[in-house]
Amino acid sequence: MKKHILIIFCLIFSFPAFSQVKYTNPEKQFSVIFPSQPEYSTSDNSTESEKMILHNYMSIENENVVYMVSLVDFNNEAATTSETIQVLENSVTGFFGALETTPENRKEVKYKKITGLEYNGNNGTYLITYRVYIHNNLMYQVAVLGVNKAPIKKNKDKFFKSFKIL
């Protein structure tokens, strides 16, 4: 009897570990722990003066929380100039604007020696935490988005803590 209880206990408390995926993108630019295998997509956000391809990696938890890492390769010097903070701010404006949400609670965040920005937003439908960094002409956008429900803080914190620029 005790053996059965122990097995059931182990299954219940080890299940969340099985539902997590340590993911490294094929180009080995980042790694992160997603709640499930991420889906990959691209979108072309190029302008006449600048080519920008957005690479999206998304994983959905419980049908209402999205975990996302997006990469943009600038292919120019914009990301390595003294205008880096302005490029980050423009990214924040675009991301939150697309979701019709106002970015709030700005703070600087660090990953090793890389300075980034973090914002939160809530428009009644979306509850968002968004971080953005630039390193070696790559912009890394890392976000957790709850739809009609706040993401579980522990899961959100684990996702951000697991993010690594390689």
pLDDT of residue 8: 41
Q: Please give the Cα distance from 36 to 67 (Å, whole number).
A: 9
What CA–CA distance (Å, rounded) separates 93 from 117?
12
The bridge status of strand 114-122 relative to strand 126-135 is antiparallel
Q: What are 120's strand-pairing partners?
A: 104, 129
Q: Which residues pair with 57 in a beta bridge?
A: 40, 69
Residue 80 CB coordination number (10 Å): 14
Give the mean pLDDT per block of 10 residues along the chain (166 residues). Answer: 41 48 95 95 82 90 92 66 77 90 92 92 93 91 92 92 96
CB atoms within 10 A of CB 138: 17
Tell me how far apart the alpha carbons of residues 146 and 144 are, in angstroms, rounded to a whole number.
Answer: 7
Tokens representing 11 are 């299954």
| Cβ within 8 Å of residue 162, ≥6 positions away | 22, 31, 32, 33
Q: Which domains does the chain show, CATH number per domain?
A: 21-165 (3.40.1000.10)
The pLDDT of residue 141: 96
Question: What is the pLDDT at residue 22?
Answer: 95
**Distance (Å, whole) CA 156 – CA 57:** 16
Please state, rounded to an integer, the average pLDDT across all residues of the chain: 83
pLDDT tens digits for range 58-106:
999 888 999 999 998 866 555 545 577 888 888 899 899 889 999 999 9
Q: What does DSSP assign to residue 3?
A: H
